C-alpha cells in the first residue's frame, strides 16, 4: 500500500445490520490505535442513506449511498440478513463495478452470499460461517466452499468465517498491506493475538462420525509442523506424524486445508521469513535456514514469487530492527 495516502475502506450495510460484524471491520480499519499511526480511513454506506435498523434493536445513521463504493480501495460486506436472501441489482452492480475498478472486495460471515450473488466467487475457494457453508455450497455450486477454515484470501477477493474470523481476516489484510509489525500494533491495541493463519480450523462442533472412514482433524499436525519449519518436513514425515499413509494424508490435507501440503508449508515458511525480516537484522542466508528454505537464493526466488519483491526490499520497507 502506498505510504503517501490513506487506504479507504467502505463497509456496505444492509437492513438489519449486525453491529458486531460491522465492528470487526470498523475497529481494525477505523479505530484509534495509539501505537499505530492511522493509515486507513473508514466509511459506511447503504443502498438508501438514513437510519438503518440493526439486529441489536437500535438504528445506525448511514450518511452515504452506493456512490461511496466508487471511492473505496477496499469494500467490506460485514454480514447480510437474511443469509442467502435476495440482493438488489443496483447493489450487485455497484459491487461488480468496484471490483472491476480494482477495489479489494471482502466479506465477513454471511457477506459471502452477497459476493457469490455478484459472481465474484465463481471458480474460487470461499468460506462463511460454519452453519452456512452447506447452504452456500448448495446455492452456488460454482463456488468451492472451504468448510472449516478461518478465511480465504485471493488478493482481490477475500471471505471469512464467523465474526471472530472476520477480525482475523481484517488483521491479515492489514498485515498484507503494511507488514507484520504494523498489524501486530493494531492487534495489541485491540488485545488480540497478532496473527491466525487462514487455514486454521473454525471453532465449530465436530461432525458426528459416520463410519470408520471419517476424517480426523489435521490441526495437531499443522501445529506440530509450525514449530519445526527449519526441519525436513516431507509429506512422508508429516503423514507419519499423523499416523497415515502419504497418499491418504495428502488427499485428506487437500480436502481439509484446501491446498497441498507443499503449498501450505511454503506459505508458512514465507510468512515466517517475513516476520524475521521485519523484526531482526539477521542475514538473508540465516533467515532462509531458520524457516527451512535452505539458501538465500531459494528464499529470494520463493519470496519474490509469493510477495512480489525481494527480501532486502521488503526489509527496507517494513523492517523495524535498528529503527527503534
* In a domain? residue 29: yes
pLDDT of 322 > 50? The answer is no
The percentage of residues in the chain with a pLDDT greater than 90, rounded to a whole number, is 67
Q: Is the domain of 180 the same as that of 232?
A: no
User: pTM for the whole thing?
Assistant: 0.66
| Terminal alpha carbon distance of the chain | 22
pLDDT of 59 > 90? The answer is yes
Once rounded to an integer, what is the mean pLDDT over residues 65-87?
A: 95
Once rounded to an integer, what is the mean pLDDT over residues 131-143?
A: 95
CA distance 110 to 160: 9
Range of the domain at 49: 7-189
* In a domain? residue 88: yes
Q: Is the domain of 135 the same as that of 236?
A: no
Residue-wise pLDDT tens digits, 181-232: 888 888 888 877 555 555 444 444 433 333 334 456 788 899 899 999 999 9
Helix axes 311-318, 284-291, angle to 10 degrees: 100
Q: Is the domain of 237 the same as that of 142?
A: no
SS3 102: coil
pLDDT band at 45 (very low <50, low <70, confident <90, very high): very high
Find the DSSP H helices in 54-111: 89-101
CATH code for position 133: 3.40.50.880
User: Which of the residue ranges 1-10, 98-107, 187-196, 274-283 has the most confident prediction, judged by mean pLDDT?
Assistant: 98-107
Q: Is the domain of 29 the same as that of 172?
A: yes
Q: Which residue, 262, 260, 289, is CA-closest to 273?
A: 289
pLDDT band at 12 (very low <50, low <70, confident <90, very high): very high
* In a domain? residue 304: yes
pLDDT, mean over the chain: 88
Query: Among 156, 189, 222, where does a domain finish?
Result: 189
Per-residue model confidence (pLDDT) at position 249: 94
Q: Is the domain of 173 the same as that of 133?
A: yes
The answer to whether 166 and 108 have CB atoms below 8 angstroms apart is yes
CA angle 281, 285, 287 (to 5 degrees): 55
pLDDT of 1 > 90? The answer is no
- DSSP code at position 308: S
Once rounded to an integer, what is the mean pLDDT over residues 107-134?
A: 95
Residue-wise pLDDT tens digits, 144-188: 998 878 899 999 999 999 888 899 999 999 988 988 888 888 888
Q: Which residue, 159, 135, 141, is CA-closest to 149?
A: 159
pLDDT band at 2 (very low <50, low <70, confident <90, very high): very low
CATH code for position 218: 1.10.10.60
* In a domain? residue 323: yes
* In a domain? residue 199: no
* In a domain? residue 1: no
pLDDT of 116 > 80? The answer is yes
pLDDT of 240 > 90? The answer is yes
Per-residue model confidence (pLDDT) at position 201: 44
Q: Is the domain of 121 the same as that of 36?
A: yes
The percentage of residues in the chain with a pLDDT greater than 70, rounded to a whole number, is 90
* In a domain? residue 269: yes
Once rounded to an integer, what is the mean pLDDT over residues 130-147?
A: 93
Per-residue model confidence (pLDDT) at position 188: 81
Amino acid at each position: 500500500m502506498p505510504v503517501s495516502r490513506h487506504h479507504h475502506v467502505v463497509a456496505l450495510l444492509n437492513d438489519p445490520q449486525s453491529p458486531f460484524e460491522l465492528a470487526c471491520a470498523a475497529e481494525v480499519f477505523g479505530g484509534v490505535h495509539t501505537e499505530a499511526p492511522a493509515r486507513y480511513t473508514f466509511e459506511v454506506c447503504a443502498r438508501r442513506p438514513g437510519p438503518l435498523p440493526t439486529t441489536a434493536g437500535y438504528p445506525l445513521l448511514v450518511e452515504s449511498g452506493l456512490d461511496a463504493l466508487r471511492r473505496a480501495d477496499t469494500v467490506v460486506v460485514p454480514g447480510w440478513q437474511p443469509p442467502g436472501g435476495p440482493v438488489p441489482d443496483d447493489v450487485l452492480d455497484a459491487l461488480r463495478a468496484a471490483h472491476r475498478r480494482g477495489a479489494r472486495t471482502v466479506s465477513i460471515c454471511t457477506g459471502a452470499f452477497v459476493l457469490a450473488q455478484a459472481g465474484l466467487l465463481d471458480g474460487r475457494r470461499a468460506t462463511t460461517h460454519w452453519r452456512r457453508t452447506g447452504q452456500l455450497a448448495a446455492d452456488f455450486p460454482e463456488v468451492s466452499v472451504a468448510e472449516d477454515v478461518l478465511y480465504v484470501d485471493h488478493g482481490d477477493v477475500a471471505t471469512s468465517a464467523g465474526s471472530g474470523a472476520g477480525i482475523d481476516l481484517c488483521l491479515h489484510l492489514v498485515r498484507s498491506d503494511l507488514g507484520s509489525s504494523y498489524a501486530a500494533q493494531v492487534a495489541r491495541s485491540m488485545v488480540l493475538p497478532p496473527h491466525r493463519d487462514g487455514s486454521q480450523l473454525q471453532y465449530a462442533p465436530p461432525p458426528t462420525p459416520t463410519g470408520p472412514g471419517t476424517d480426523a482433524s489435521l490441526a495437531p499436525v499443522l501445529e506440530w509442523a509450525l514449530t519445526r519449519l527449519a526441519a525436513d518436513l516431507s509429506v512422508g514425515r508429516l503423514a507419519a506424524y499423523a499416523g497415515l499413509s502419504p497418499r491418504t494424508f495428502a488427499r485428506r490435507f487437500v480436502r481439509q486445508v484446501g491446498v497441498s501440503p507443499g503449498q501450505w508449508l511454503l506459505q508458512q515458511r514465507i510468512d515466517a521469513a517475513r516476520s524475521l525480516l521485519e523484526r531482526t537484522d539477521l542475514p538473508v542466508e540465516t533467515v532462509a535456514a531458520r524457516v527451512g528454505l535452505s539458501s538465500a537464493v531459494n528464499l529470494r526466488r520463493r519470496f519474490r514469487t509469493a510477495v512480489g519483491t525481494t527480501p532486502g526490499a521488503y526489509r527496507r520497507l517494513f523492517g523495524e530492527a535498528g529503527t527503534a
